[in-house]
């Protein structure tokens, strides 16, 4: 009898890199084990030698350097495991050794059980997005939910605006936010920020424009960006470009401005707002520092998420179609649906994420899933989903239901 399918499999470097990218993108939890302790964590970054992880469950003390740990995670219906060592630990952030290998346990955690005709799933599929009435930019950002520890975890628009204004009032001379729905863009500074989706940052207007990036976390407009805009958009002759930049900076200085920043609020490929920070020569005549700039950049992303969450862009969702289909088989790790024709072939695409609503005994479970398999069997079409995000209580409820399926 061949039992090789139940043996552990060692994955190579290419597979390992793919899996880590998948885990980062889909925020799949890792379970760290050492001694008799278990800690849940998220993988944030990977390099050839190191992994950066964020500890998200309770832990009583910082992990010590050189501590040997075991890490487990659940991927594509299989357990995976690797050994590692702590390189550096500071609070919730831990750097560990990128392992040479990952071991895949071929045995599924849960077998699928057929529930055809007993349960349905509801989901939505978006058609072509309706174009929004905002200026477009070269950069793209789709807002994600802020982490619990973020300064702007409360996403009510009026609350975050008030909190941001209160904080900035103590840090800069003036701050304001300009929303761009149906607004006319006149100034060259606004046009350049919108076109490139970068932050205009002038620590001291009596000096020149920055000529290199100052941080890995943000992108600022460089002198070369302004020159490129002058040449390509305004058709400015090359010998006049420096003159125009100097004139712009001199005008700011004439208006008593010492330091200035404009941060774009990006949603998808639109700039939906601009955040202005200013220090005047007669009030806080110091550069707007990098910490303030990073804080405002974080706020711009939270504002983008808050606007989306509060249906600020609801007009783009007019092409959404709602579906309800019977579940063919189910486990606490995923499910499959069965359909009589291939009408979903171009809608349910492999490796795409989709939000599902599963109702069991009048309880609705909200689950994020990834489409991991598609196949045809006789005259039926099957689509397999792997759960990538489900609330802990909902998952416990699902496991209990699964155990009682006959």
The CATH number linked to 246 is: 3.30.450
pLDDT for res 57: 66
Among the residues of 79-175, which ranges form H helices? Answer: 157-169
d(CA 327, CA 392): 22
CB atoms within 10 A of CB 350: 11
- Length of the chain, please? 406
At 101, the pLDDT band (50, 70, 90 cuts) reads confident
At 129, the pLDDT band (50, 70, 90 cuts) reads low
d(CA 139, CA 130): 19
- CA–chain centroid gap for 330, Å, is 28
pLDDT for res 373: 84
Residues 243 and 175 in one domain: yes
At 7, the pLDDT band (50, 70, 90 cuts) reads low
Residues 144 and 293 in one domain: yes
Q: What is the mean pLDDT of residues 102-131?
A: 77
Question: Which CATH number belongs to the domain containing residue 330 in this structure?
Answer: 2.40.10.220
Q: Which long-range contacts (CB under 8 A, 24 or more apart) does 245-253 make?
A: 245/208, 245/209, 248/188, 248/189, 249/202, 249/205, 249/206, 249/208, 249/209, 252/202, 252/205, 253/205, 253/206
Domain boundary among 265, 291, 314: 314
Q: Structural domain tally of the chain? A: 3
| CA angle, 38 then 43 then 46, to 5° | 130
d(CA 79, CA 108): 7
Residues 210 and 309 in one domain: yes
Share of the chain above pLDDT 90, in %: 43
Between the CA atoms of 130, 135, 140 and 146, what dihedral angle is there, to the nearest 10 degrees? -90
pLDDT at 14 over 50: yes
Q: What is the mean pLDDT of residues 112-122?
A: 86
- Classify residue 72 as exposed, middle or buried by CB count within 10 Å of its CB (0-12, 13-18, 19+): middle
Residues 301 and 278 in one domain: yes
Range of the domain at 222: 136-314
Residues 253 and 342 in one domain: no
Residues 306 and 362 in one domain: no
Under 8 Å between Cβ of 93 and 52: yes
Q: pLDDT tens digits for 351-377? A: 777 889 999 998 999 888 888 888 888
Q: pLDDT tens digits for 138-188? A: 998 888 766 544 555 566 788 889 989 999 999 999 999 999 987 778 899
Mean pLDDT (the chain) is 86
3-state secondary structure 105-128: ECCCCCCCEECCCCCEEEEEEECC
97-125: burial string, b at 16+ Cβ within 10 Å, e else = bbbeebebbeeeeeebeebeeebebebee
End-to-end, the C-alpha distance of the chain in Å comes to 29
d(CA 126, CA 312): 17
Q: Which of 94-98, 183-187, 307-311 has the highest mean pLDDT?
A: 94-98
Residues 76 and 97 in one domain: yes
φ and ψ at 340, to 5 degrees? -80, -10
| CA angle, 37 then 19 then 83, to 5° | 35
Helix (H) or strand (E) holding 104: strand 102-105
Residues 308 and 327 in one domain: no
Q: Which of 100-114, 163-177, 375-389 has the highest mean pLDDT?
A: 163-177
Q: pLDDT tens digits for 34-88? A: 887 778 888 999 999 999 998 876 566 678 889 999 998 877 667 788 999 999 9
- More confident site: 202 or 405: 202
d(CA 186, CA 191): 7
SS3 319: coil
**Nearest by Cα to 338 from 368, 378, 309:** 378
pLDDT for res 3: 40
- More confident site: 335 or 317: 335
d(CA 272, CA 182): 10
Residues 300 and 344 in one domain: no
pLDDT at 5 over 50: no
Q: What is the mean pLDDT of residues 273-281?
A: 97
Residues 327 and 291 in one domain: no
d(CA 243, CA 240): 5
pLDDT for res 240: 94
pLDDT at 108 over 90: no
Residues 33 and 78 in one domain: yes
pLDDT for res 86: 94
Question: Which CATH number belongs to the domain containing residue 76 in this structure?
Answer: 2.30.110.10
pLDDT for res 1: 35
At 127, the pLDDT band (50, 70, 90 cuts) reads low
pLDDT for res 2: 38
Residues 358 and 376 in one domain: yes
199 Cβ partners below 8 Å, 6+ apart?
193, 218, 219, 220, 221, 261, 262, 263, 264, 293, 297
Longest dimension (CA), the chain: 86
pLDDT at 116 over 70: yes
SS3 77: coil
């Amino acid at each position: 009898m061949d039992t090789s399918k139940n043996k552990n499999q060692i994955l190579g470097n290419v597979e390992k890199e793919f899996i880590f990218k998948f885990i980062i993108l889909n925020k799949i939890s890792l379970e760290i084990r050492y001694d008799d302790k278990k800690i849940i964590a998220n993988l944030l970054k990977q390099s050839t030698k190191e992994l950066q992880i964020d500890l998200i469950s309770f832990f009583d003390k910082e992990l010590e350097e050189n501590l040997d740990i075991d890490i487990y995670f659940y991927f594509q219906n299989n357990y995976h495991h690797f050994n590692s060592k702590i390189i550096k630990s500071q609070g919730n952030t831990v750097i560990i050794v990128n392992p040479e290998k990952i071991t895949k346990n071929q045995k599924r955690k849960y077998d699928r059980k057929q529930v055809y005709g007993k349960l349905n799933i509801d989901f939505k599929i978006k058609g072509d997005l309706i174009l929004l009435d905002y200026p477009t930019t070269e950069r793209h950002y789709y807002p994600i939910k802020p982490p619990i520890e973020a300064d702007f975890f409360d996403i009510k628009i009026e609350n975050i605006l008030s909190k941001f204004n209160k904080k900035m009032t103590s840090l800069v001379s003036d701050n304001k936010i300009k929303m761009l729905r149906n607004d006319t863009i006149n100034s060259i500074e606004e046009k350049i920020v919108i076109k490139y989706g970068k932050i205009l940052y002038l620590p001291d207007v009596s000096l020149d424009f920055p000529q290199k990036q100052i941080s890995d976390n943000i992108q600022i407009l460089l002198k070369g960006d302004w020159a490129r805009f002058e040449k390509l958009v305004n058709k400015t002759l090359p010998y006049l470009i420096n003159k125009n930049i100097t004139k712009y900076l001199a005008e700011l200085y004439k208006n008593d401005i010492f330091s200035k920043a404009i941060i774009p609020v990006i949603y998808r490929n639109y700039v939906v707002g601009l955040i202005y920070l200013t220090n005047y020569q007669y009030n806080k005549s110091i550069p707007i520092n990098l910490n303030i700039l990073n804080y405002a950049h974080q706020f711009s992303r939270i504002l983008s998420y808050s606007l989306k969450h509060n249906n600020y862009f609801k007009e783009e969702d007019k092409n959404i179609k709602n579906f309800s289909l019977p579940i063919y088989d189910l486990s606490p790790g995923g499910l499959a649906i069965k359909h009589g024709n291939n009408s979903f072939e171009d809608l349910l695409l492999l490796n795409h994420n989709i939000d599902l609503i599963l109702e069991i005994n009048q309880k609705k479970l909200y689950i994020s899933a990834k489409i991991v398999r598609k196949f045809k069997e006789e005259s039926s079409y099957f689509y397999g989903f792997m759960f990538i995000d489900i609330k802990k209580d909902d998952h416990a409820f699902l496991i209990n239901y699964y155990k009682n399926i006959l």
